[in-house]
C-alpha cells in the first residue's frame, strides 16, 4: 500500500455574510461556473454555515 501525504495547499474554508439561508446546490453550481480553475473545484458543506473549497490543478 502506498501512503500519500495529504496537502491542504489548494483548499480554503469560507462562509457567506448573509442572514438568509444559502441554497447549497445553487451556490455550488454558480461558483463552479464562475471559477474556472484548470482541474476543477469541489465545494463541501462542513457545517456551522461553513464551506470547504478545494481547487484542482
The dihedrals phi and psi of 30, each to the nearest 5 degrees, come to -65, -50
pLDDT higher than threshold 90 for residue 51: yes
Q: Half-sphere exposure (CA, 13 Å, Cβ side) for 24?
A: 12
The pLDDT-based confidence of 3 (bands split at 50, 70, 90) is: low
pLDDT (average), residues 43-49: 92
CB–CB of 15/27 below 8 Å? Answer: no
CB–CB of 45/26 below 8 Å? Answer: no
Indicate the domain borders of the chain.
11-55
Amino acid at each position: 500500500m502506498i501512503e500519500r501525504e495529504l496537502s491542504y495547499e489548494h483548499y480554503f474554508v469560507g462562509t457567506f455574510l448573509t442572514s438568509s439561508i444559502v441554497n447549497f446546490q445553487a451556490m455550488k453550481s454558480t461558483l463552479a461556473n464562475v471559477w474556472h480553475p484548470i482541474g476543477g473545484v469541489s465545494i463541501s458543506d462542513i457545517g456551522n454555515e461553513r464551506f470547504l473549497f478545494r481547487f484542482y490543478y
